[in-house]
Amino acid sequence: MFLGGIHISSTILIVTAMSSERVRRSRVEAATDTRRRLLDAAWVVFARRGYEGASVQQVAEEAGFTIGAIYSHFRTKQELFLALLEERFATKVGDLSRLVDGTDSLDRQMEALAHRFGRLRETEGDWDLLAAEFALYAARHPEARPPLADRQCQLREGLAQLIAARLRESSIEPATSPSLIAAAVIALGDGLGAMRRLEPDLFPDQLFSTAVHHLVLALAQTSVP
């Protein structure tokens, strides 16, 4: 009876532990799903209304949740937007990395990198406008500058790693820091993107990819103090 009691007690403990683990996983999965739906809804609302015009209430309604669901994942609208920005930057760098891995020569890699970077800007809808709007917001609100700079650094350094790796594969030791090269590429994309919105007929499709290709190779061979 004693041994039987131990066996039954052990079985109960195991079943209870397994049930608790299932409940924990279920809660984690539910929280992950909720966060995903909130981010997807945030993209829709921010794209529709802009950063300043959007509200967390509108995001909650778009996602089908109460406003409390947002505040359980994000403390502020700014934090929600920055999470969205960080995710999109990481996705962009991942897409670029997979693309250049499928090419051989440096010239082709730079062409592929520039072409894809340009196409990403063209296919992201109003994302470039949102990023520019938030940059202006951060310029007027000093507390928003450090977190935005952190996300910008994420994109820049991700792109810099790709550029540095491709240059090393071609036995090129860049005279200019890959971080500065990446910053120049991003700035070029931002500038041309803004100008093309105003005068779309003035800028041919290949302008950005051609400019980036030559910019990267030129800076790699020129020392910038």
pLDDT band at 19 (very low <50, low <70, confident <90, very high): low
Tens of pLDDT, residue by residue over 55-67, are 999 999 999 999 9
Supply 87's token pair: 């995710």
Tens of pLDDT, residue by residue over 193-213, are 888 888 888 877 778 878 888
| Rounded Cα gap, residues 214 and 160, in angstroms | 16
Supply 63's token pair: 């996602």
Tens of pLDDT, residue by residue over 130-169, are 888 888 888 998 988 999 899 889 889 988 988 888 888 8
Q: Which CATH class is domain 76-225?
A: mainly alpha
Other C-beta atoms closer than 10 Å to the C-beta of 15 total: 10
More confident residue, 3 or 125: 125
- Those residues whose C-beta lies under 8 Å from the C-beta of residue 179, and which sit 6 or more positions away, are 156, 157, 160
Domain ranges of the chain: 1-74, 76-225
Give residue 215's region: left, alpha or beta (phi > 0; psi -120 to 50): alpha
Reference 143, options 79, 72, 51; nearest CA is 79
| Rounded Cα gap, residues 220 and 185, in angstroms | 12
Check: CB of residue 176 under 8 Å from CB of residue 224: yes
Find the range with the poorest average confidence among 59-68, 79-88, 180-189, 209-218: 209-218
CATH topology of domain 1-74: Arc Repressor Mutant, subunit A (1.10.10)
More confident residue, 26 or 92: 92
Confidence (pLDDT) at 1 = 44
CA dist 94 → 31, 68, 182 (Å): 25, 32, 15
More confident residue, 136 or 113: 136
